[in-house]
A and B are shown apart, each in its own frame.
Chain A
Amino acid sequence: MPLPAASGVYCTGIVTLATQAEHSTTRRDFLYVATGAVGAVGAAAVVWPLINQLNPDASTLALASIEFNLANIPEGQSVTITWRGLPVFVRHRTQAEIDEAKAVPLADLKDPETDEQRTKPGHEEWLIMIANCTHLGCVPTGQSGDFDGWFCPCHGSHYDSAGRIRKGPAPKNLVVPPYEFISDTLVQIG
């Protein structure tokens, strides 16, 4: 029997055998192919869990969605909460801030979005955004900058009272996470 010339790794060795055993009977060929194929299936079944263990674990996933009570945030105040390990601004906006945000023409915006698109109908006073600057991820300072919104001290991005980018290097508005109101004072984020 001539020696197959290829890798010496066990599984591939079997497959190689299967492809090289030209002079053998068909039955032998079939046996080799079948063994190699079953071995390959087994190897794949072993590899998957070894990769899947890198995915977020059950304790992390359990915190993928959180509930937050808004009742204790007075008008004109913000809190920063943690969601999926990220800081999230929850701002109880004043009427002046809402009016100001609504008055801005879309043409003035770098990343055009209306105020309505960034809040929930009937709950316009609540602005909920991931607090990482869309430039390089710093946390902007609240109620500062040229547009009565947020100012990122790292590279000088200015956001308005709806968290939209107005000036500076950031390309996008502050990101609004998926959320919904369970009741007037309870939101579920994520």
Chain B
Amino acid sequence: MLTFKTIIAAVAIAAGMAAAPAFAAEGTAPPVEKQSWSFAGIFGTYDENQLQRGFQVFREVCANCHSARLLAFRNLTEDGGPGFTEGQVKALAAEYEVADATAEGGVRPAVAADRWPSPFATDQDARDANGGVVPPDFSVLAKARGIKDAFPWWITNYFTGYSEGGPDYIHALLNGYHDEAPEGFDLPEGKFYNDYFPGHAIGMGPPLQDELVAYEAGEGQEPVPMTVEQYSHDVAAFMMWLAEPGLVSRKETGFKVLLFLIAFAGLMYATKRKLWQGIEH
């Protein structure tokens, strides 16, 4: 049909026309290298062990400065998450204190229903302790970051369902530090040079180093390397779970829904054909 053809032709020409300036406008930052994630793709699920390791990195390193106000302790036991037991989470929660106006002294030990307490009481405290910048909250941070694909390639993302731009960026950022800014770059006092941070001057110093967090291998498990590379993978995966805790069940439901719709569409088409049989149209 001609309208189909013309529209396809139009799209193709538009694509060709727009491609040239898109390439021309690419900046100087090295492109973010996409990582392989267990939760990518339509069958992707979180890796429990990785989430537990990522949680450990978050708890021992990141949580000293970054809040995660939407994380409730109980989330750590929920399906599709790191898979901690209720007992573990109860014990973990009890190590933290949360504000409670009805409790004596205004604080009490946390319970599973409580949210993860922030490292700073107010934004102003956080700012004062961190060179004038509030460290961003982790709750949905993995979805608040992304990477930019060059022009024609982002179109394929709609068909692959690529949603891992956040973890890819976080992983790149954590591995993107340089001891010295490149020559000619004017790095402000108290800032650090990072390849992937917009503007390159980031307030956060390199947070990870090899051997910083002690991973304990479970019985009969291969020890996991204690490297920045591994830590950043794990914590990025954990942050993705934190931002999108229902990912696994969402994809499971989606798979059923798609199968149903495709089968139903087939039936509908057969019915429609039968009905219209004998009518010239």
Chain A residues close to B by CB (< 8 Å): 14, 17, 28, 31-32, 34-35, 38-39, 42, 45, 58-59, 62-63, 66-67, 72
Contacts and interface: CB of A to CB of B under 8 A. Distances in A.
Interface string B258-281: 001001100110110011000000
A17 B74 CA distance: 51
Interface in B99-119: 104, 111-113
Nearest to A25: B274
B72 interface: yes
B271 A32 contact: yes
A39 B104 CA distance: 58
7 contacts: A14-B271, A17-B275, A31-B274, A42-B260, A58-B74, A62-B72, A62-B74
B113 A59 contact: yes
A35 B72 CA distance: 45
Contact of A62 (B113, B260, B263, B268): B113
B113 A38 contact: no
A31 B268 CA distance: 9
Given A34-B267, A35-B271, A62-B74, 19 more contacts: A28-B274, A31-B267, A31-B270, A31-B271, A32-B271, A35-B267, A35-B270, A38-B263, A38-B264, A42-B264, A45-B260, A58-B74, A58-B78, A59-B72, A59-B113, A62-B113, A63-B113, A67-B111, A72-B104
A127 B260 CA distance: 55
Nearest to A34: B267
A39 B267 CA distance: 10
A169 B220 CA distance: 68
B101 to A, nearest CB: 12
A38 B78 CA distance: 33
Contacts of B78: 58
Interface in B47-90: 72, 74, 78
Contacts of B275: 17
A15 to B, nearest CB: 12
Contacts of B270: 31, 35
Nearest to A46: B257
Contacts of B104: 72
Closest 10 CB pairs of A and B: A62-B113, A35-B271, A35-B267, A62-B74, A63-B113, A38-B264, A28-B274, A31-B271, A38-B267, A31-B270
Contacts of B113: 59, 62-63
B270 to A, nearest CB: 6
A118 B275 CA distance: 70
Nearest to B75: A58
Nearest to A62: B113
Contacts of A14: 271
A66 B112 CA distance: 10
A38 B270 CA distance: 13
Contacts of A67: 111
Contacts of A45: 260
A72 B271 CA distance: 73
Contacts of A63: 113
Interface in B231-271: 260, 263-264, 267-268, 270-271
Given A28-B274, A42-B260, A62-B74, A35 B111 contact: no
B139 to A, nearest CB: 14
Contacts of A66: 111
Contacts of A58: 74, 78
A35 B78 CA distance: 38
A33 to B, nearest CB: 10
Interface centre among A17, A38, A66, A67 (most CB of B within 10 A): A38
Contacts of B264: 35, 38-39, 42
Contacts of A39: 264
A148 to B, nearest CB: 28
Nearest to A69: B108
